[in-house]
Chains A and B, each alone.
Chain A
């Protein structure tokens, strides 16, 4: 009812450029941040953190990363699982090689290493586009998983071929290993999410983002108005891989604790991320969150209903979960091909006018 822009006048271009032009949106955003940082840590338990919040936060980072590459720059990538693996193994090697290194730096460095790998695998994008590029990134996916399987140095010659996160602390709290308090892991990941989402938003609303979108929408015209395609595409690959690498590092060290590359970072992870991006909405930061939330929360919800409420057998529930989620993805793509972000936008437009039809 009071969701209005009437009376909310902008007198400078800087005000018009705000992330949330509507006052109510701004208040809502700060409220969510406050609740996220000050209320949630005190009320959550282990189940909420490990089943819902951590995967949601970590996949949000990865989804923002893939959205930058696919949604903003238009380069389809099926290699995200492989890039997550790079982040995970980079963090493992850094943690074991430099035991005194702060976990914050470890995660950021893992992202940087993934960014460099991303640039290398982004080079074909200068020549090939669309489906062909998707296949080229698929090659990256298989190559990276194969490499982390075959080269024993990456998992420190352990007999199982697994990597296990050693215990590390941040500001005196355990962040990896067996004795992590749920709220520490949550706050650690939340901080990364907030900073990275804010950075992504700033990039996409400035020239960096405009260069990417110009390449996405029409690469020839982009080059003719002065966009260097090499710079734009490789920077998208670098930034995107950085995000995905950070997500991979967090997924392995904070969430999973132990990982085997084919299982944790296989092709299904690439598709999961792509689903999140498409369902959330290509080219939208909010959509990245929405997509990650949908793909993480919905199965949990379904499971709770089917096993918890209806008392079905777990295996039947698991199969039904696949069927329902799959069907919903298809329905979504037919009803709203631009994803949850577009749905949200339409809702907001309606709310602005409500209760009047026009």
Chain B
């Protein structure tokens, strides 16, 4: 499947060319090999899941993707070009946004300001126009606010717009964090366990938001998730990692049938 340029999902969406390609990535921390020679791609418009047992290197993979870690070997290709080593904020400027496993919101700011922060990479005025405020800065602020309000509507968090995020319940904080990532209009959205610690209802909501984001904005999404049911339902293709190695790659059905994956999750029968 990964050899063809485009493919069509069972629900009729056409998946395009690769947005990001990981080629033979190896990441080591001292003597510990966190990721070992992994290659896969994420294609335009698809929902790509990365799964694996604890400590498999999934989050490290995400950190490589958004430039927080620099792999010792291998190349990251973004939009058909090799990506030189960059700082995370430069990669954010290229259109890669992410959420975190442990919520990383700005606790001292309101929901609105948090999501406005997501639009930082799109706002160009400098400090001098901010000081003057009237004119360019105010215009840009209002434009950004319009975008942000759309996201607030989309995520149904109008009521908590001006509340400090520190006081919000966990599920809503996760939603605000998704909103902050969405505000960047990302070309690639990385979600690190968007449903960790949620109850069934919140999981359903979050799954729906993820599908809608992909559907309405056409955003390419790579996500890490532990809930296999959710992954099988929403992902187009799945990468399975175990002990830093890739042990499976394909549609959910293919991955489920893969003997290595079954072994990793259920253990090998030694009897």
Q: How far is the CB of A287 from chain B (nearest CB, A)?
A: 13
Which residue on B lies nearest to A209, using beta carbons?
B130
B106-A221 in contact (CB<8A): yes
CB-CB under 8 A from A228, the residues of chain B are: 87, 89
Is B120 touching A202 in the complex (CB atoms < 8 A)?
A: no
Contact A226 B109 (CB under 8 A): no
Q: How far is the CA of A294 from the CA of B90 in the complex (A)?
A: 44
Distance (Å) between the CB of A334 and the closest chain B CB?
20
Give the complex CA separation of A216 and B107 in angstroms: 10
Instruction: Flag if B127 contacts A235 (CB, 8 Å).
Output: yes
Report chain B residues within 8 Å CB of A13.
Answer: 141-142, 145-146, 149
Known contacts being A223-B88, A224-B68, is A17 close to B127, with CB within 8 Å?
no
Q: Quick one: closest B residue to A72, CB to CB? A: B108
Q: Taking A207-B120, A224-B92, A226-B184 as contacts, is the C-beta distance between A17 and B130 under 8 angstroms?
A: no
- The reply on A283 being an interface residue by CB < 8 A is yes
Residue of A with least CB distance to B93: A226
| A195-236 near B? 1/0 per residue, CB < 8 Å | 000010011011111110110111011111111110000010
A206 touches B133 (CB 8 A): yes
Q: Determine if A313 is an interface residue (Cβ-Cβ < 8 Å).
A: no
Main secondary structure of the interface of B (DSSP, over half): helix
- Taking CB atoms, residues of chain B closer than 8 Å to A222 are 106, 117
Answer yes or no: A1 CB below 8 A from chain B CBs: no
**Does B243 lie at the interface of the complex (its beta carbon under 8 Å from any beta carbon of A)?**
no
Do A199 and B131 touch across chains, with their CB atoms under 8 A apart? Answer: yes
Contacts of B100 in A (CB 8 A): 221
Q: Could you mark each residue 111-140 of chain A with 1 if its beta carbon is under 8 Å from any beta carbon of chain B, else 0? A: 000000000000000000000000000000
B 127-161 binary contact with A (CB < 8 Å = 1; else 0): 10011110001100110011001000000000000
Given contacts A13-B145, A17-B145, A217-B109, contact A225 B127 (CB under 8 A): no
Cross-chain contact of B89 among A12, A14, A16, A226 (Cβ < 8 A): A226
* B113–A14 CB distance below 8 A: no
Q: In the complex, what's the smallest C-beta–C-beta distance from B87 to chain A, in angstroms?
A: 7
Contact between B180 and A213 (Cβ–Cβ < 8 Å)? no
Residue in contact with B106 in the complex, picked from A12, A213, A223, CB distance below 8 Å: A213
Taking a contact as CB atoms under 8 Å apart, the answer to whether B141 and A17 are in contact is yes
Contact residues in B for A199 (Cβ distance below 8 Å): 131
Candidates B92, B113, B131, B132; contact of A210 at CB < 8 Å = B113
Q: Verify if B118 is at the interface (C-beta below 8 Å from A).
A: yes
Does B121 sit within 8 A of A, measured CB to CB? yes
17 extra A-B contacts, CB within 8 A, seeds A12-B142, A13-B149, A214-B117: A16-B145, A17-B145, A199-B131, A206-B141, A209-B130, A210-B117, A214-B106, A220-B104, A223-B89, A224-B88, A224-B92, A225-B89, A225-B118, A226-B89, A226-B121, A227-B120, A235-B127
A-B contact pairs, 24 of them (CB 8 A): A12-B142, A13-B141, A13-B146, A17-B138, A202-B131, A203-B127, A203-B130, A206-B125, A206-B130, A207-B125, A208-B130, A210-B109, A213-B108, A213-B113, A214-B109, A220-B68, A221-B106, A224-B89, A224-B98, A224-B104, A225-B117, A225-B120, A225-B181, A227-B120
